[in-house]
Amino acid sequence: MPSKSLTVELRNLFIDRFSDDELADLAFALGMNIKDLGEDTTKGKARELAAYVVRHEWVAKLIAEVGPKERPEIEWQALLTEHVSRELLSDDDRSRLVDILANNYDMQMGPSARYGLMDRAGLRERLKFIDLAGAPLSLAYSIVSDLEPLGILPGQPSFHALGALINYILQLPDTTTDDARILAELLVKYQLISDPAYLDGLTTTYSIDVTPVRHIDPSLLPPPVTAKDLARLSTEAPAVIKDESPVSKVLIRSSEDNLLDIDLLAGAIYSAQAVGRIELPRGRAHGTGFLVGPDLLLTAYHVLKSKDMLESAVIRFDYQANADGVVTQGRVFELMPDFYVGSPDTELDFALVRVKGEPLAERRMRSEDEGQNYLELLRRGRHRGYLLVSPSKIVEFERINIIQHPNGGPQKAMMTENYVLNDMKGNRVHYLAITQPGSAGSPVLNRRWEVVALHHSGGAHPPLKDSADTQKLEMYRFGEGIPMRAILPKIEKWLPRS
């Protein structure tokens, strides 16, 4: 937790460097009204504002976002370094967390993969203070030490900075059961997520028996659904569907809850902005591709087999149909003819090329957009500029989504009732999915809308050798993709690091 000296230092800073109007502007930027502090004098306002920031764990919000924007000449980061205690975790808990983080798959790779890990956890803004080079163990200690004192994340009021990273790693399929239990225990013990129901779920799932040593600020808690609420709602009559009706057969066969969180739908629209139709030549559909950097496009090798094709090929973004079926023209970008990295279709079947210009530059996220959910980014008209790539293991029954241009037509998103049929094997993964010619080169995305594979074929290519898996797959109309875990080492050095 921040030390008392930080409160004093902030109070003195506010008195010395801010007028009454500037204090009011700073409070407004933090999301509050200075009048609510109940003070009339400058000193009183400065004292209560400083205390409020520290008490509500808005240190990260002030130092990383609001402060530099309102008063960029002040050395905000120096305040954090000098005055914040780093003793949130016990020594044993810190050591356990550092070991788990150091052994994470991304941490074992190079700086770009480590950058991707932090970015996917919503912590990209902290990377300006962390050197991603070096041994995994020492880097893991630096990351934990940097995040530990920060408090609530700007843009993610439900997460302590450390909680965002721990919760992300907890959800990765690569995380072992033993490590997952340790991570869940840390979240519960230190109350690093401001959602009691979620923490209760972790407690039950992992049979956790710890007493919290930290308490959540009540002002950050979401509204609960109480037993009285459930009792009242249960009086509403549910829809009745007769067993023999055609609808009941569909519902019985359905294996996934079709009540989707709105952020999942927003994620589809957000992600679709970075997916386009590849044409060769312009106007003739040839496949699908997606941005993995501001100007880097990934597609299947058999869509763009050589550098010679780049002179004639283009990528068309925003090629979509509205609810009436009216199709938009979209935006066309040419490809750079002098950059090409690829692997044949019998191997990894990928081609990495460069776009002339940055297709999503006008929507580029700003520092204040970091950590926002997909729905909020859509409201703001913001985008990272590319899709995040995840090298996490892909496991049986994992749900996946594919954004594609089937048959070369307007963009479609395949969501719900699509899942992985078996654990990824080397450089191939198979999934229950409907794709068409023209879908090759599409991103295969997980529930967080991270790219986990590159779709390259409806069916297996090359053909699978006879095995128990082959017999299982023959029961389905399945798609085949190349896991990003296999592709990433080949392209990592070109991916964004800032």
pLDDT digits (tens, 9 = 90+) for 21-60: 899 999 888 888 888 888 888 888 888 888 888 777 677 7
Within its chain, how far is the Cα of 141 from the centroid? 23
- Token pair of 32, please? 């509050």
From the number of C-beta atoms within 10 Å of its C-beta (0-12, 13-18, 19+), residue 477 rates as: exposed
- Token pair of 60, please? 């990260």
Q: Which residue do the tokens 């965002």 mark?
A: 164
d(CA 461, CA 45): 68
- Token pair of 131, please? 């050197």
Q: What is the pLDDT of residues 199-228, one digit of tens each?
A: 999 999 999 999 998 877 776 677 776 666
Q: What is the pLDDT of residues 462-483, one digit of tens each?
A: 666 555 555 555 556 688 999 9
Picking from 394, 411, 289, the residue whose alpha carbon sits closest to that of residue 350 is: 289
Give the per-residue pLDDT at 462.
61
d(CA 143, CA 34): 34
Q: What is the pLDDT of residues 239-282, one digit of tens each?
A: 554 555 444 444 444 445 567 888 889 999 999 999 999 999 99
Give the per-residue pLDDT at 461.
63
The tally of CA atoms less than 13 A away on the side-chain side of residue 200 is 4
Average pLDDT, the chain: 85
